[in-house]
Chain A
Amino acid sequence: MAWKRKDLVSMQDTEAAEIIEVLDTAESMKEIATREIKKVPTLRGKTIVNLFYEASTRTRTSFEIAGKWLSADVINFSGSGSSAEKGESFLDTAKNIEAMSPNVVVVRHKAPGGPALLARHLKCSVINAGDGAHEHPTQALLDLLTIRQKKGHLEGLNVTIVGDITHSRVARSDIHAMRKMGMTVTVAGPPTLIPAGCQDMGVKVSHRLEEAIAHADVIMMLRLQHERMTGGFIPSLREYSRVWGLTLDRLTHCRPDVLIMHPGPVNRGVELSPEVADSQYSVILDQVTNGVAVRMAVLYLLADRRAA
């Protein structure tokens, strides 16, 4: 088994062999979703706590389904309406939860480094389900799984990530994971949304959409958050959409077998036109389906680690 670590905090710290093991394990998990009775006893008696300090529908649901299909006891804990609102610190809350002996804590937090902080202080396994603009490792894993299924391989593929790279944890996790898999990554967006030193992460940087997507095997469109205007990053959604929105028109200059991906939720009509979101190029819903399989794989590899 390649997987030896206690936690899954970042793709930057995860090795290629470990990534491949997660993807291979996820392939074997996919079959469970096709069964009439979607439940295997693998993690019976294990407890998983979903500790979500930031609103999330799909990631939390995905982790919850993944845990339940593996027969783990899954407890959801959200930052609002709990002790967090009474002023208890993040670390104290986590230590209190740990005192109830969970096997895995899945954490989403607005603070970059939040999951790393828990991983250092807790004895149980910690999975990063998104920490600010740092990383979202299971998203990168499900992206890789989707690409591998559609393309048959990963190495040598060209991926272009378009949009708000500065604030995107998905972009960071994808960049690290894809580079480890031998893929070529281009990031594209207005210069205000490309973070400092980005090219030193081993990616190409482009400020022109057509040029950036011309040779792409995969285009990953990122969600543009509405509040970016107030920060002075872009003048208006209207202008952003005109310059950076992906339309069927723009796709005519791309490879005919290009895949369109999006970590969701999609702002239809902003970064993606509805026609593109629903086109034959789009694998956005495959990503969601694969999300459950990948999270089952990660939960299995972490929760079962000590038993092994």
Chain B
Amino acid sequence: MSLLLKGGRVVDPAGGLDGVQDVLVTDGTIARLGRGLKAPEGAQVVDAAGKVVCPGFIDIHVHLREPGYEYKETIASGTRAAAAGGFTAVACMANTLPVNDNRAVTDFILAKARVEGAVRVYAIGAVTRGLKGQELAEMAEQAEAGCVAFSDDGLCVMNAEIYRRAMEYTLPFGTPIISHAEDEHLAHRGAMHEGLVSTELGLAGQPSAAEDVMVARDILLAELTGAHVHIAHISTVGAVRLVREAKARGVRVTAEATPHHLLLTDEAVREYDPNMKMAPPLRTKRDVEAVLEGLLDGTVDCIATDHAPHALSEKEDEFGACANGVIGLETAVPLLLDRLVRGGRMDLSTLVQRLSPAPARLLNLPGGSLAAGAPADITVLDLERPWTVEPAKFRSRARNTPFAGSTGTGAPVMTIVGGKVVSP
């Protein structure tokens, strides 16, 4: 089975390529790139003229909610959302029910994903049993079962000794520890970022320091253990500075940023819209600028959505009481293309790098490249396609986006996984 993408602008940062090329795919892998390639007998031919052909985008931070919270999202619906949003692979967090803290749950997720998943699914195991922060989960078996990283995401492992042991224990597997850096004592009252807006709204805030102190701690523990620590959803000036300094010192620390922390500030909370509530919270303009600067200079390695689906009933509530988290799989790429690339803040090739080769390398995943022999995971973009965010049309089961009604130009138009078109 072959597929020929004809005449597209190929942007492949891993191969240093940005130019019009045809891409030939056979048997699920990239066969070759070149001009005027002839379609083999029976090949599907896609006219990609005027479009951009990229290595498939990889989102290393999503919540697929299955098993246990199928009313929020399922592996099937979440991966359909990923495909529609231009992602060819996702890595799902461990806070399911039961928690993915043992091999049986990992096996279930990966088996289900093989059958029902529209895109590739990688599992992230829990660091501690039941996400309770007290005892190590069975990470050796989980790594064997296929977990690509470990994280108690959603919760911060407050016990520094346990966290140190987790870093040491996972060293042989080459799997990073992903930190949800949020000091639970500094943050526990806060429903939003602490500042003028939280004060005026009368909402308890959490200071940037709640994130910064944990990023600092985790960097020190990475230094102590030699482990690779990845900072999830970095959101503050201070945390970006800490990661930049640590990288300069040679510490094995990496970081990701979410589209909402790159595009929104705490001013968006003014109407008490529950879809503006997530952890870490939306911060100030200074923080947004610092995260973007970090993303541009490579301090922040990649973009991840922290796609966190919730049912309407969990969000349609008082701001302080409603669930934390927003979805992002179907809005990330269009928003970034419009606000960053079209907005002149970032060139296309850098954006593709942060969405594909960077996350692939970070978690040692296949993909992130259009070189011959690479898996044929491909995202096709139309930089001129106008869009409006319409939650009612989402493939995700959830609607909790902070970007409802937003408009822009530039969107993913085709997603190919292992040589098969999975969207549209």
Is the beta-carbon distance between A198 and B199 smaller than 8 angstroms? yes
How many angstroms from the CA of A133 to the CA of B272 in the assembled complex? Answer: 14
Within 8 A of A (CB), among B252-311: 271-272
Contacts of A198 in B (CB 8 A): 199
The closest CB in chain B to the CB of A172 belongs to B202
What string of 1s and 0s marks CB contacts (under 8 Å) between B238-255 and chain A? 000000000000000000
B-contact 0/1 string along A268-303, CB 8 Å cutoff: 000000000000000000000000000000000000
Which A residues are in CB contact (< 8 Å) with B316? 89, 91
The reply to whether B321 and A111 form a contact with Cβ atoms under 8 Å apart is: yes
Partner of A90, one of B198, B207, B317: B317
- Bound CA–CA A253/B232 (angstroms): 55
A residues contacting the other copy or chain, number (CB 8 A): 24
Q: Which of A23-31, A60-68, A77-85, A113-121 lies at the binding interface?
A: A113-121
**Interface status of A201 (Cβ within 8 A of chain B):** yes
Indicate whether A197 sits within 8 Å of B272 (C-beta atoms), given known contacts A90-B317, A111-B320, A114-B318. no
CB under 8 Å from chain A, chain B span 300-337? 313, 316-321
Contact A111/B207 with A116-B271, A117-B272, A132-B202 known, Cβ cut-off 8 Å: no
Cβ of A112 under 8 Å from chain B: yes
A90 CA to B317 CA in the complex, in Å? 8
Assess the B198–A196 pair: CB atoms within 8 A: yes
Q: Is A201 a contact of B199 with CB atoms below 8 Å?
A: yes
A223 within 8 A of B: no
| CB under 8 Å from chain A, chain B span 365-381 | none
**A91 / chain B contacts, CB cutoff of 8 Å:** 316-317
Question: Nearest Cβ in chain B — how far from A262, in angstroms?
Answer: 20
Would you give the shortest CB distance from A234 to chain B, in whole angstroms?
A: 16
The CA of A200 and the CA of B320, in the complex, are separated in Å by 23
Give the distance to chain A from B212, nearest Cβ to Cβ, in Å. Answer: 15
B201/A112 in contact, CB under 8 A = yes
Q: Is A108 an interface residue (CB 8 A)?
A: no
- A 94-131 to B, binary, CB cutoff 8 A, 1 in contact else 0: 00000000000000010111101100000000000001
The A-B contact count (CB < 8 A) is 67
**Chain B contacts to A: CB under 8 angstroms:** 194-205, 207, 271-272, 313, 316-321
B324 CB, nearest partner CB in chain A, Å: 15
Q: Closest Cβ of chain A: how far from B52's Cβ, in Å? A: 40
> Is B194 in contact with A196, judged by CB distance below 8 angstroms?
yes
A96 to chain B, nearest CB (A): 15
A selection of 21 A-B contacts at a CB cut-off of 8 Å is A89-B313, A90-B317, A111-B318, A111-B319, A111-B320, A112-B318, A112-B319, A113-B203, A114-B318, A117-B318, A132-B202, A134-B202, A169-B202, A195-B199, A196-B194, A196-B195, A196-B196, A196-B205, A197-B195, A197-B196, A201-B196
Chain B residue nearest in CB terms to A173: B202
Task: List, in ascending order, chain A residues with CB within 8 A of B198's CB.
Answer: 195-197
Query: A135 interface residue, CB < 8 Å from B?
Result: yes
Q: Is A12 an interface residue (CB 8 A)?
A: yes
Partner of A113, one of B194, B199, B205, B319: B319
Query: Nearest Cβ distance between residue B54 and chain A, in whole angstroms?
Result: 41
Chain A contacts of B197 at CB under 8 A? 197
A238–B205 Cα distance when bound, in Å, is 28
**Cα distance A130–B201 when bound, in Å?**
12
- Chain A positions within 8 Å of B318 at CB level: 90, 109, 111-114, 117
